[in-house]
Amino acid sequence: MKLITSLAAAAMIAVASSVSFAAEVVKGDITIVETWTRATPPNARAGGGFAKITNSGSEADRIVAASSPVSKKTELHEMAVVDGVMKMREMEDGIAVPAGGTVELKPGGLHIMFMGLNEPLKEGETVPVKLTFEKAGEVDIILSVHKMGAKGMGHGHMKHGKMPKKDN
């Protein structure tokens, strides 16, 4: 039991150290950290971008637009379960960042959506994104591309080459 626990801890440390985020970005009252995205399968048309955005000011702000050279269109989306079905919709009024509050863009929730990827996002690469805030203005962030998500990506971890043969 003890061995398993320490192995698990070691694995967690290994994961933590391999997940590197770009430095935080500060613009006015807005601070953006943990900017990342996920690698996409070869023929994926879309990908999601994630970040943690804090507004230290006394006035609410709002992300009104996003853009990136990696896709034809970049939108602000929300994913939510509606009547038991996972649905995604564009946030037409943008994403509010309340005064003194933090908004987390994360898988399964609010996210930046890359629509019409020019090419797949590859692990270890970076994706530049420009966010436009109503008050703070334009903020450039860099998303680090992490491993393909194991969930909801049917073609994840597909290996090229031969399948190993059984000996018997």
- Residue 144 CB partners (closer than 8 Å, separation 6+): 20, 21, 22, 35, 36, 37, 126
- Minimum CB–partner distance for residue 89 and Cu ion (Å): 8
Determine if 76 is a binding residue for Cu ion (CB under 5 A): no
Residue 111 CB, nearest approach to Cu ion (Å): 6
> What's the CA dihedral at 135, 136, 141, 147 to 10 degrees?
-50
Query: How many residues make contact with Cu ion (CB under 5 A)?
Result: 3
Report the SS3 class of residue 6.
helix
Of the pair 49, 141, the CB lying nearest Cu ion is at 49
Q: Does 113 bind Cu ion (CB under 5 A)?
A: yes
Question: Least distance to Cu ion from the beta carbon of 137, Å?
Answer: 24
Q: Which of residues 24-63 bind Cu ion (CB under 5 A)?
A: none
Cα 86–chain centre separation: 18
Write out the residues near Cu ion by the rule CB under 5 A.
Answer: 77, 88, 113
